[in-house]
Structure 1
Amino acid sequence: MPRRSPRTAPDRLRTSRRLPGFLKTASVCVLVAGLLAPFTRTAAAAVDATAPNDYCGGQCSDIVPPGENGNATLAQILLNQAFGTQPSHAEDQLGPYAGLATGYKGLTDATINTFFNDASFGVPSGQVASTEKPAGRGDVTIVRDKKSGVPHITGTTRYGTEFGAGYAAGEDRLWLMDVFRHVGRGRLTSFAGGAAANQGLEQQFYRDAPYTEADLQAQIDNAVAKNGARGRQALDDVNAYLAGINAYIDASDSGRYFPGEYVLTGHKDSITNAGTIDHFKVTDMVALASVIGSLFGSGGGGEVNNARSLLAAQARYGVEQGTRVWESFRERNDPEAALTVHDGRSFPYAAKPADAQGQALPDTGSVTQEPLVYDRTGSAATASARKMSATAAGATLGSARRGMSNALVVSGEHTAGGHPIAVFGPQTGYFAPQLLMLQEIQGPGISARGASFAGLSMYVELGRGQDYSWSATTSGQDIIDTYAVELCQDDYHYLYHGTCTAMDKVEQKNAWSPTVADGTAAGSYTMRAWRTKYGPVAYRAAVGGKKVAYTTLRSSYLHEADSIIGFQMLNDPDYVKGPQDFQSAAQHINFTFNWFYADSRHTAYYNSGDNPVRADGVDAEFPVWGRPAYEWRNWDPATNTADYTPASAHPNSMDQDYYISWNNKQAEEYTTASWGDGSVHRGDLLDDRVKKLVAAGGVTRTKLVQAMADAGLADLRAEDVLPELLKVVDSAPVTDPTAAAAVGKLKAWVAAGAKRTETSAGSKTYADADAIRVLDAWWPLLVKAEFEPGLGPDLYTAITGSLPVDEAPSAGHGPTGSHAGSSFQYGWWSYVDKDIRAVLGESVRGGLAHTYCGGGSLGACRDTLLGTLKQAAGLTAAQVYPGDDQCSAGDQWCADSITQRTLGGIKHGRISWQNRPTFQQVVEYTSHR
């Protein structure tokens, strides 16, 4: 039985309307009375589908907003646009998720599932909403529960199990999967229209992974070949999964209940049913994986920006002192940084060499970004469209790589029940439909429930097994290097091992039809990437007067499919039976993640990724020459393989008293590519709270959820930096009435807990709203006034290019631009903290090379702070929160609010800001196999 009922009258309206922006539908004014016949389905038999292999004792919970159902017919889209009605299970997880922000203080173990789903295996008979045999198969059953509509897939054969997983993926995310297989190939505009955001998105990923179809197939072949029986099983699983997706495509096409976006984008005709929805194929999986890996699992890069800021520091202070200043801001191994592994062990990686070799720093002013787009036609050729296209990636998915995600894990020694407790999950942004989908899979060799990225859900990627749970945060260690290849003959030949070698040109031609809804005219362009054996060309420059191309080489390039084996292992109950097995499985994941584990007896942690072994003397922070002496050890350019650091050299641990991660530093001497791993980091918000719980003992699921939620509403600046700033201000009486009033408001806010919380649930007004406005206005003003005079404008600007000054909730940040939730990862809070403590004469480990505020004078620093505070206090809410496409100017709550960015036709309402994972688990296992 198809999950979606046959479409009714509104579905058959003829339309070729396209979705403006990034697949956003236009508002539709329609008369729907009498047009929509009731959607009907045969009631499912009330069979008891509860699984017997669940060791969580009812203490596993999960959630992922807005809802499991990410598909909608044309009729449902039109109704949503006209009246805000929602398809079944499209947003039923959004309300509980949002409610935790005001409900966490009164939480109890008994009410956790008011804000989460019960993540027990199976479905009790009274909660069975539907049962189906996809495509009439007898070897797999999909049962959906009443509360959230999550598919519980049970197969008697491995093939049938994976077929069911693919069918369920089609039911829940077909349109989204189709979007992202086109994004991964750089073909989104041809598929979904030429809106600027679509252009920016496909360009971002094409820069990172300009693959040909042969490249995609080769990655499958290589992953299978090098992994023996598991590799062959993975390919069989993928083929069965694809067969399930394609069976759903055929069923929804013949039944005419496919996603309505296919009509809105002109791929299907709602009257004649003309047009096709292309079947999925194996290489689509690699294209999808390349997008996810690029977004969340590819740490590193930035060497050219680092070089620019180093050169600016040396120009300001001279080579020796400028290098000292640069290193103090870089904070490679800050002794005050929050650590995930805090047991005193160190894991040296990417350390600064004593005598750097092979550096290829650009001549000042010579760097230009490699152009990607050629042959523009139509309205896209205008200057405005070019600008929008160039910046769209920063406003949608393809912004600068962000860490996101958090984890809180406490060992059983410190819990009330004697069993480990974990509250963890990834922050993947907020979308409609969501990138992640929930599912349970039970079959031969597979037993898991949790979240998977749409189109890659042949296995659960983050979730639980029979008696263990696992999750991940982005780690950010450096697996990307920049090489300078010397040009020869012309701009498209380079020296490789002494021979003038032609670059490989890869092109993608995109053309799109007129877009009625947003006025975008027809247009086209060609994306062109130049590839070398050292990776794609990213920049052009001169080094010592020689023309070079800077290339970007990452260890996961041409290896997007390799991680499938690790996920296969994590889903296998016969493989993972304890923490050592979990760590072994995580070692097969080549993307850069921190992995966390909990069962009824143990906790564990492992940092994954193929960390290349660099040549002696190479500093991973800066570009190096593309020459044999500076290549990764035993690097093979044909396969992009090399020697990688052994598993024991990756930060890892078992049964530490507790673990926290919010994309902070993993361990001592483990240098990540991230700037800002210093004395103040959002990881401190978790560490401070969990450390107190552990010291008190008797930790419960409720207490750990509350710690997470409390940290998720905290303003990092206000909690960890503002008290130091107020010490300086209070070093003498404040006589100016405007400044004094602002100080009073800020002190009251700090005393109240420094949270950004509503006055009451649904009020859409912050408690301490004026103090929040003052700090939001003050922070960028005080940072510039504190540091720019000492650094000089050029160096100050250069460092802000590597580390933005602020990432408040209302700032544009994260994978969706503004309204993305995830906040306070990147900013100058550590610099301000160290500098202000130095001015106050307090102890500072790993301090900056100079004291900047007021030139080190307490009185002059105080004058700087008070002057900028008075300026900030005078700014209106409309000036601090200028408004955007979501909010009117001056609406503080709305500026912070989380928006489910539309990737299809269904829209959802905004929710109050929370700085927490998108998908999240709360687990405490009571027994073990």
Structure 2
Amino acid sequence: MGPFGIRLRAAALGAVLATVAALALPTSASAGASATRSYQSNDYCQGQCDDILPPGENGNATLADILANRLLGTRPAHTDDQLGPYSSLVDGYTGLTDATLGSFFDDASFGVPAGQVASTVRPRPDVTIVRDKATGVPHITGTTRYGTEFGAGYAAAQDRLWVMDLFRHVGRGELSSFAGGAAANRQLEQSFWQAAPYTEAELQQQIESVAAQGARGQQALADAQAYVDGINQYITQAYNSRTFPGEYDLTGQVNPITNAGSIQPFQLTDLVALASVIGALFGSGGGGEVQSALVKEAAEAKYGTTRGDAVWEAFRERNDPEAVQTLHDGQSFPYAGDPAHPQGLAMPDPGSVTPQQLVYDPTGSAASGSAVSGSAGAALKPVKAPAALKPLQGVFDQGVLPGNLLTAKHGMSNALVVSGKYTDSGNPIAVFGPQTGYFAPQLLMLEEIQGPGISARGAAFAGLSFYVELGRGQDYSWSATSAGQDITDTYAVTLCNTDGTPATKDSSAYLADGVCTPMQALERDDSWSPTLADSTAAGSYRLIMYRTDYGLVTDRATVGGVPVAYTSLRSTYQHEVDSIIGFQMLNDPSAVDSPQTFQQATQHIGYTFNWFYADSAHTAYYNSGLNPVRPASVAPDLPTWAAPQYTWQHYDPATNTADYTPPSQHPQDVDQDYYVSWNNKQADDYAAAGFGDGSVHRANLLDARVKALVDSGTKITRATLTQAMESAAVTDLRGEDVLPELLQVIDSAPVTDPAQAAAVAELKTWLGHGAVRKETSAGSHSYADGAAIQAFDAWWPLLVQAEFQPGLGSDLFTALTGVLQINESPSGGQTGPSSGPVDANESIPHKGSSFQYGWWSYVDKDLRAVLGEPVTGGLPQVFCGGGSLAQCRQVLLTSLQQAAAEPAATVYPGDSGCAAGDQWCADSIVQRPLGGVTDTASNWQNRPTYQQVVQYPAHR
């Protein structure tokens, strides 16, 4: 076993080493590129910075464009031109060289070369927006700071106005009235209203808070206002010229026949609403303490208190010694660990927990559980469509965004960064980027911004792109992965009634400093009616979230018979905009010029991210987040009583502020031999916020490959590091890291049953090929080793249930699947047998990102124990076959035979884009349409959405 918990059995290890050997072959140099092109004087990457963001930069399709897409399959220019190169890396990475990187990535140099200018726009005299012919990316150059940011807003509206409008409505719980009452729209607005409900005054308060943060805060506010001004100028011009996104016609904001209606101008509070959505999606962590408590109680009910707590702790894996870590040189950063004897626990009485009601009828007086009919909707809805527009009717019936965009578990982003000591030129190399999902238009947009105090190129979330959020500066690049450390806690408040009557679980007041205090009701009314693109029935409802001094109410229960409300308190709540200072610094060449100044910039970001940096000489890492300081006596992963002695130190409910851990206590490093991150554990003693950071994690796929490259003695190039990333991207984690042990148990005796033997033989062949999920040939849409992959996909949920449920019992097994899903497969279709528990959160189909959440570590540790191998941080008992190797073997064979017998149509259920049983299509990535234009499905690959490949040969 390696020091980071990487264990690959002989077959899998051989496959990885063979891949590494291929990657380490000499590649063509790319230095010749600089000989044929001159680069801007402030661009120290000299042609060695590349990036890509599918499907394309252009997110503006007029009504005519959308109709042409539906009828003829045409798309506006630059709508999908980055999708092909992105997808083709799946088949092209094995022969990749530095010279051919340009076939799969775009040039991320500053400026636009002579002869490559597609258009030039000057929305004000002090700013110019140039778009290149290759990708249509806006290159914004301003002579004043105001003009620069005005241009950034204008370009953002050109490319993403509709997406920006969607998300400012999502952030306010008003998506249905804006984009139609599809069930997914309602589900999404409900989940965001639960996470970040704000009044308009509170949105404004966040703006004022930033303005009070000195010169940088005031500059940020001025930048944001200029950005909004640019958006609004574009809205006015586009409305008058009728070049605005056609989705406004489809949803009834503008009448497609008379042009009556309007596109509402943006204001600063819209940016706060957008930031709250992005923060909730990608920059939070922790919570789930009630669910963790239910697991603990189920374990104690099964095993008794002492042994039950040991079982809970083992499955919790808060500080697993075998977990792969980003900092692997023994750096320790203690945070969020549990004390031996926690104080102030508020454990729910068995069976007493009920979720807090959110949805009410329009009067707010009675629960409805779903929307009720009766609203007339917006004044312009519905519109009788002319015959030419009939093909557009119902295109948004499934919603404009996935309903579980926030509630389903997400794994985001990866990074591979190697010190110059191991590279061809002696300069560090980074291949990194965020996994933000796949949408059309994309949530992110590309841009270059050059102006006073700003010099950057890269990606930013639409509507927040007054600064580049992930990308490059003049002589450095940076990126992030979601860290998810614990910044959210659950408190129990004692319920009461202000009239003095006995409290019940439904009471709407609580004890605050001994005073019965009414909860604050944060209400949002929403109504909808059919539109041109959405034919759902008219309806309306009221969303109500209750807020206390200790956070938002999420559940009701009793504790020792006393009625309580469980609240969720997040440190970044009411502070989503504060992170703007850090992003401003990352864009400022005078603020960031070294690993140390990079770390100082990212310290200002309150969201939970792992930040990575590379320049010509150094690499660096920093974990950001507003980590609250808790009393040493409390358990961060269990609910606690809402009392001063148990809450965050110096917590002030009026401002939602507290003491936070200082920068020195955040995981950080400069110039480690290499860094990898795929949302894995950061460092020793930095406790995981949830279940699942154990011996097998998808970051193992990266760590095994990069470590092998570093240890090979062959100098690493941009191409070979990209190959390592893509090799991991097409590999099944379960196949590489767990299948060898499954086969080892099975091979402990001869397999005599012909059907079982055939399935085992197919799995061995697949493992010998590296357990990859790739086509037989480019464009075949048929997997090599497809039968083995199908059997394994069907087998995983069956074997997990057969291995663990008999020993854990149904109650504990079900509780554990509630905190950690069994599976996260590429297709999202293998949710377990109908007779057992179903993983409702198993996956979002066609989303690409896979293998972040699952029972891989539990199976791995249990099987090694069955095999008699050493297990550090193992489970408290052997589950498979009751600890008997022979019985475990039989469990595996029986479940494998059952899986192999499942027809393809059962393993891969059909959907609107795929026939049942179509394996490649079930796995494929779909750019989820946020608007009226759709894209073709592409190869599955477990890879960032936006990605950079960089190596700087020079520095200022």
| Superposition TM-score tier, normalisation by shorter sequence | over 0.9
Secondary structure at the aligned position of 1:133 is classed as strand
Alignment of 1:804 onto 2:821: yes
Please name the residue that 1:470 is paired with.
478
Give yes or no for contact 2:50–2:106 (8 Å, CA) kept in 1: yes
One-letter identity of the residue aligned with 1:883:
G
Residue among 121, 125, 129 paired with 1:142: 129
Q: Whole-Å Cα distance in 2 between the matches of residues 394 and 316 of structure 1?
A: 38
Cα gap change, 1:815 to 1:626, in 2 (>3 Å): same
Alignment of 1:614 onto 2:630: yes
Please name the residue that 1:777 is paired with.
794
Please name the residue that 1:295 is paired with.
281
Please name the residue that 1:275 is paired with.
261
Cα gap change, 1:560 to 1:401, in 2 (>3 Å): farther
Please name the residue that 1:31 is paired with.
none
**Residues 225-240 of structure 1 correspond to what in structure 2 (within 5 A)?**
225=212, 227-240=213-226
Residue among 750, 753, 777 paired with 1:760: 777
Residue among 170, 183, 194 paired with 1:207: 194
Q: Whole-Å Cα distance in 1 between the matches of residues 641 and 914 of structure 2?
A: 48
| Alpha-carbon shift at residue 138 of structure 1 (Å) | 1.2
Residue among 194, 209, 225 paired with 1:222: 209
Deviation digits for residues 706-725 of structure 1 (CA, Å, limit 9, x no counterpart): 00000000000000000001
Note the aligned Cα RMSD (angstroms).
Answer: 1.9
Q: Whole-Å Cα distance in 2 between the matches of residues 269 and 878 of structure 1?
A: 43
Unaligned stretches of 5+ residues in structure 2: 1-36, 373-395, 498-502, 830-839
| Alpha-carbon shift at residue 888 of structure 1 (Å) | 1.6
One-letter identity of the residue aligned with 1:79:
A
Q: Whole-Å Cα distance in 2 between the matches of residues 678 and 389 of structure 1?
A: 41
**Residues 193-204 of structure 1 correspond to what in structure 2 (within 5 A)?**
193-204=180-191
Alignment of 1:487 onto 2:503: no
Alignment of 1:260 onto 2:260: no
Q: Whole-Å Cα distance in 2 between the matches of residues 542 and 353 of structure 1?
A: 24
Determine what percentage of the aligned residue pairs are the same residue.
66
Give yes or no for contact 1:513–1:521 (8 Å, CA) kept in 2: yes
| Alpha-carbon shift at residue 49 of structure 1 (Å) | 11
Please name the residue that 2:524 is paired with.
508
Please name the residue that 1:35 is paired with.
none
Q: Whole-Å Cα distance in 1 between the matches of residues 554 and 369 of structure 2?
A: 22
Alignment of 1:79 onto 2:96: no
Unaligned stretches of 5+ residues in structure 1: 1-47
Q: Whole-Å Cα distance in 2 between the matches of residues 381 and 394 of structure 1?
A: 24
| Alpha-carbon shift at residue 385 of structure 1 (Å) | 7.1
Q: Whole-Å Cα distance in 1 between the matches of residues 97 and 131 of structure 2?
A: 28
Give yes or no for contact 1:515–1:522 (8 Å, CA) kept in 2: no
Secondary structure at the aligned position of 1:144 is classed as strand
| Alpha-carbon shift at residue 384 of structure 1 (Å) | 8.3
Please name the residue that 2:55 is paired with.
66
Residue among 386, 410, 418 paired with 1:410: 418
Give yes or no for contact 2:144–2:452 (8 Å, CA) kept in 1: yes
Please name the residue that 1:307 is paired with.
293
Cα gap change, 1:456 to 1:802, in 2 (>3 Å): same
Cα gap change, 1:334 to 1:756, in 2 (>3 Å): same
Give yes or no for contact 1:200–1:390 (8 Å, CA) kept in 2: no
Give yes or no for contact 1:395–1:815 (8 Å, CA) kept in 2: no
Please name the residue that 1:881 is paired with.
908
Q: Whole-Å Cα distance in 1 between the matches of residues 729 and 659 of structure 2?
A: 39
One-letter identity of the residue aligned with 1:658:
Y
Q: Whole-Å Cα distance in 2 between the matches of residues 751 and 816 of structure 1?
A: 27
Please name the residue that 2:22 is paired with.
none
Residue among 240, 244, 255 paired with 2:230: 244
Secondary structure at the aligned position of 1:628 is classed as coil
Q: Whole-Å Cα distance in 2 between the matches of residues 272 and 506 of structure 1?
A: 38
Give yes or no for contact 2:825–2:851 (8 Å, CA) kept in 1: yes
Deviation digits for residues 260-318 of structure 1 (CA, Å, limit 9, x no counterpart): 11111111123432111111000001100000000010011110100111100000000
Please name the residue that 2:12 is paired with.
none
Please name the residue that 2:390 is paired with.
none
| Alpha-carbon shift at residue 340 of structure 1 (Å) | 0.1
Alignment of 1:183 onto 2:185: no
One-letter identity of the residue aligned with 2:638:
F
Per mean C-alpha deviation after superposition, the further-off stretch among 269-278 and 633-642 is 269-278
Residue among 546, 554, 561 paired with 1:530: 546
Please name the residue that 1:52 is paired with.
41
Residue among 428, 435, 447 paired with 1:420: 428
Please name the residue that 2:939 is paired with.
912
Give yes or no for contact 2:148–2:449 (8 Å, CA) kept in 1: yes
Secondary structure at the aligned position of 1:125 is classed as coil
Alignment of 1:163 onto 2:150: yes
Please name the residue that 2:712 is paired with.
696
Please name the residue that 1:826 is paired with.
853
Please name the residue that 2:925 is paired with.
898
Cα gap change, 1:528 to 1:520, in 2 (>3 Å): same
Residue among 546, 551, 555 paired with 1:539: 555
Give yes or no for contact 2:823–2:842 (8 Å, CA) kept in 1: no
| Alpha-carbon shift at residue 403 of structure 1 (Å) | 2.9
Please name the residue that 2:20 is paired with.
none
| Alpha-carbon shift at residue 52 of structure 1 (Å) | 2.0
One-letter identity of the residue aligned with 1:437:
M
Q: Whole-Å Cα distance in 2 between the matches of residues 109 and 403 of structure 1?
A: 29
Q: Whole-Å Cα distance in 2 between the matches of residues 73 and 300 of structure 1?
A: 42
Alignment of 1:340 onto 2:326: yes
Residue among 118, 124, 128 paired with 2:107: 118
Secondary structure at the aligned position of 1:363 is classed as coil
The runs of 4+ residues in structure 1 deviating greater than 6 Å are 380-386, 388-394, 812-816
Give yes or no for contact 2:179–2:400 (8 Å, CA) kept in 1: no
Alignment of 1:327 onto 2:354: no
One-letter identity of the residue aligned with 1:605:
Y
Please name the residue that 2:878 is paired with.
851
Secondary structure at the aligned position of 1:563 is classed as helix
Secondary structure at the aligned position of 2:645 is classed as helix
Q: Whole-Å Cα distance in 2 between the matches of residues 516 and 217 of structure 1?
A: 34
Q: Whole-Å Cα distance in 2 between the matches of residues 73 and 230 of structure 1?
A: 38
One-letter identity of the residue aligned with 2:42:
N
| Alpha-carbon shift at residue 685 of structure 1 (Å) | 0.1
| Alpha-carbon shift at residue 760 of structure 1 (Å) | 1.0
Residue among 610, 633, 658 paired with 1:594: 610
| Alpha-carbon shift at residue 392 of structure 1 (Å) | 11
Q: Whole-Å Cα distance in 1 between the matches of residues 739 and 263 of structure 2?
A: 55
Please name the residue that 1:792 is paired with.
809
TM-score in terms of structure 1 length: 0.93
Question: How many pairs are equivalent?
Answer: 877
Deviation digits for residues 191-233 of structure 1 (CA, Å, limit 9, x no counterpart): 11111010011001000011000110101111221x2000000
Q: Whole-Å Cα distance in 2 between the matches of residues 391 and 57 of structure 1?
A: 44
Q: Whole-Å Cα distance in 1 between the matches of residues 650 and 398 of structure 2?
A: 37
Secondary structure at the aligned position of 2:361 is classed as strand
Q: Whole-Å Cα distance in 2 between the matches of residues 123 and 784 of structure 1?
A: 56
Please name the residue that 1:743 is paired with.
760
Secondary structure at the aligned position of 2:496 is classed as coil
| Alpha-carbon shift at residue 382 of structure 1 (Å) | 9.0
Give yes or no for contact 2:821–2:842 (8 Å, CA) kept in 1: no
One-letter identity of the residue aligned with 2:883:
G
Q: Whole-Å Cα distance in 2 between the matches of residues 516 and 143 of structure 1?
A: 35
